[in-house]
Amino acid sequence: MDAYLVNPSGTRDIASLMLDECRQLKVVSASTLAATTAQERLLFGVQHGLYSFPTEELCQFLRSRIAGRSAIEIGAGHGVLAKALGIPATDNRQQEEPAIKAHYAGLGQPTVPYGDHVEKLDAHAAVEKFRPSVVVACWTTHRFDPARPHAGGSAFGVNEKRLIESCDEYIFIGNEHVHREKSIWTLPHEKITPPWVYSRAVNGTPDFIAIWRGGTAMKGRAHLDSVD
């Protein structure tokens, strides 16, 4: 992930807009975030270990898209989005490991504030346990592929191609520049860049929602086609 400098002394602290009385991230309206600057969002994200900020409009879109089907969130972190959607929140909670915490402490940054309700499961274990029709993810890191070293990723990241094959829909919320190297962009997908999706990115590219139809949905479609 690219690094950008932010000057705390010259940037407004928006924590009072974004945190509830328990100092937990809350879902806010897009208009609340529209009244902030990219630098303010970056500072807030860095200071609180947050990358994307759920809006009421995003939650409304996801509820409509899920449409009553079984769903989970992977890489849920704080778990605020999953809680708002009423779906299970899962994460490998990697940043709780001492070595990772020490790394972020050396950078002067907090780790992700995992929600108490976020179950410790990696993405594939979560899919195996819950067997969801829909998998939602925000800013999750893809699995590092030695054949594509330029694409970055993590050895502990998500094998998104395998994930897509295991569900009906994979919905990913991210940033065009930050997540440009995902190998799954070569697979058929839908992508929109609505004005109500926000993150801490300051690279000048839009945040997006991308949706891949999964393997189970394709098998069902193939069956229908064979009947037609």
Across the 228 residues of the chain, what is the mean pLDDT of every consecutive 10-residue run? 66 97 97 98 96 98 98 98 98 94 90 96 97 98 89 88 97 98 96 98 98 71 35
Q: How far apart are CA 95 and CA 189, in angstroms?
A: 30
- Specify the pLDDT at position 215: 75
- Specify the pLDDT at position 21: 95
- Specify the pLDDT at position 7: 73
* Tokens found for residue 227: 């009947």
- Specify the pLDDT at position 223: 34
- DSSP assignment of 99-165, as one string? HHHHHHHHHT-PPP---TT-EE--HHHHHHHH--SEEEEESPPBBP-TT-GGG--BTTSB-HHHHHH
- Specify the pLDDT at position 216: 59
User: Domains along the chain?
Assistant: 57-199+206-227 (3.40.50)
Strand runs (DSSP E) across the chain, as ranges?
Answer: 52-53, 71-74, 90-91, 119-120, 134-138, 169-175, 190-192, 198-199, 207-213
Q: How far apart are CA 58 and CA 120, in angstroms?
A: 25
- Specify the pLDDT at position 25: 98
- Specify the pLDDT at position 225: 36
- Specify the pLDDT at position 3: 54
- Specify the pLDDT at position 5: 61
Q: How far apart are CA 154 and CA 143, in angstroms?
A: 5
- Specify the pLDDT at position 4: 59
Helix (H) or strand (E) holding 16: helix 15-18
